[in-house]
Amino acid sequence: MLWTLTMHAHDAASERPILGDRYAADLLARVDDPPDLGLSLGGNTPLICARAKLIDDIARGWLARHDEAVVLHLGCGLDSRVLRLDPGPGVRWFDVDQEPVIELRRRLYDDSRTATVGDVTDPSSYRQFPADLPRLVIAEGLLMYLDPAGVRTVVDRALTPGSTLVADSVAPWVPWVAGLQPAMRAADTGFRSSTADLARVAPRLVDELSLVDATATRTDGLTSTFVRLFALVPPARNAMVLQTYERP
Ligand SMILES: C[S@@+](CC[C@H](N)C(=O)[O-])C[C@H]1O[C@@H](n2cnc3c(N)ncnc32)[C@H](O)[C@@H]1O
């Protein structure tokens, strides 16, 4: 979560921001020991910011159609989406994450009313959310860290009838490659599920976007050329996708 926050801050300070998260730098300045992304992780900044931008746009469109609603922002980390989207008074927004993350979020944010402790893989976590309103569930940079059973719990428990899920996931070959990345190893983390695990349990797929394509069209120069070439290989183009599912 500190990696993505740092990427948001770098993007916002760049000449041509993709996301333009105007809260990230202030939040990061309050972190005692902000991470140094280095070349390898820092190279993911356009991808991560394109992902956040697309999710912001989808969520903004959904909120425009739902005045009275619930938003579950699962695995929110330190992301400022609720400030960026500024939902109306009829929207109950829950920023959900594990206890240590929510404690940190409460220390860093001036207004932390949306901060909610919950293990998304624990079915009982979902009892705290109102079930009688239209619901948008956002899972950004989350599902790949869960095992397939955890992904199933999210789908089964977070999605009440009529709900929409917006989630990114990775191709089945990506967890293996990600496991080779020194930063992932040093952080003792890794990817444990893929798009195939989500597709197996998720309801109706209504939209799918390649985040590799989204990165290519939002960058320029060498980065864009490199990503465009990468996208020519079909398995690479779908390395990371953003999907929208609806539960009828
Ligand atoms: C890569 S970060 C993404 C954070 C944020 N969505 C963003 O894009 O900046 C993954 C987040 O998922 C959270 N997470 C992982 N497993 C979780 C679980 N079982 N329950 C709740 N949150 C979880 C982590 O604590 C972390 O904040």
Compute the mean pLDDT over every residue in the chain, rounded to the nearest whole number.
96
* pLDDT value, residue 184: 87
**Choice between 232 and 38, residue whose per-residue pLDDT is larger:** 232
Beta carbons within 10 angstroms of residue 222's beta carbon: 8
Ligand 1 centroid to Cα of residue 77, in Å, is 5
Q: In this prediction, what percent of the chain has a pLDDT beyond 90?
A: 91
pLDDT digit string, tens, across residues 155-202: 999 999 999 999 999 999 999 999 988 888 888 899 999 999 999 999
The pLDDT of residue 3: 95
What residue spans define the domains of the chain?
A: 44-246
Best mutation site among 10, 97, 117, 155 for ligand 1 pocket (most ligand atoms within 8 Å of CB): 97
**What separation in angstroms does the CA of 50 have from each of 47, 188, 191, 211, 245?**
5, 26, 20, 7, 20
User: Does the pLDDT value for residue 91 go beyond 90?
Assistant: yes
Residue with tokens 């990503």: 227
**Whether the CB of 56 sits within 6 Å of ligand 1:** no
Q: Do 58 and 136 meet the contact criterion of CB atoms below 8 Å apart?
A: no
For ligand 1, atom 20: residue with the closest CA: 119
Q: Are the CB atoms for 235 and 173 separated by under 8 Å?
A: yes
> What is the homologous superfamily of the domain 44-246 according to CATH?
Vaccinia Virus protein VP39 (3.40.50.150)
**Could you read off the pLDDT of 116-141 as tens digits, one per residue?**
999 999 999 999 999 999 999 999 99
Q: Can you tell me the mean pLDDT for 220-232?
A: 94
Instruction: Identify the pLDDT of residue 239.
Output: 97
pTM of the predicted model, to two decimals? 0.97
